[in-house]
């Protein structure tokens, strides 16, 4: 019949009930501006590729320019 969705299979129903666990190799980290404005970004990093603290150059809207953002622990 038009307008009705096909019935879901067992695998699709199981995926809705039990979502996959997040890997511990890719934790969520908070990046804080080094300009001292208090601006933060939230991202995920790969611990295997970046075991040290992450430093990314991103836009700081308070400072009005691109500055280094360091991972805070």
Domain count for the chain, please give it. Answer: 1
Which pair of tokens denotes residue 14? 């199981």
pLDDT of residue 18: 73
pLDDT of residue 1: 60
Q: Is residue 3 in a domain?
A: no
Provide the CATH number for the domain around residue 31.
Answer: 2.20.28.120
Q: Do residues 46 and 54 lie in contact, with contact meaning Cβ atoms separated by under 8 Å?
A: no
Q: Is residue 42 in a domain?
A: yes
Q: Please indicate, yes or no, whether the overall pTM of this predicted structure exceeds 0.75.
A: no
CB atoms inside a 10 Å sphere around CB 69 = 23
Q: Is residue 58 in a domain?
A: yes
Domain of 46 in residue numbering reads as 24-72
| Rounded distance between C-alpha atoms, residue 18 and residue 7, angstroms | 19
Q: Is residue 47 in a domain?
A: yes
Strand 40-44 to 55-60 pairing: unpaired
| Rounded distance between C-alpha atoms, residue 26 and residue 6, angstroms | 35
């Amino acid at each position: 019949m038009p307008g009705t969705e096909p019935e879901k299979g067992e695998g699709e129903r199981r995926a809705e009930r039990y979502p996959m666990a997040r890997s511990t190799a890719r934790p969520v980290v908070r990046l804080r501006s080094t300009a001292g404005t208090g601006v933060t970004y939230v991202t995920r990093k790969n611990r295997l590729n970046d075991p040290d603290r992450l430093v990314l150059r991103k836009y700081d809207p308070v400072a009005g320019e691109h500055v280094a953002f360091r991972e805070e622990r």
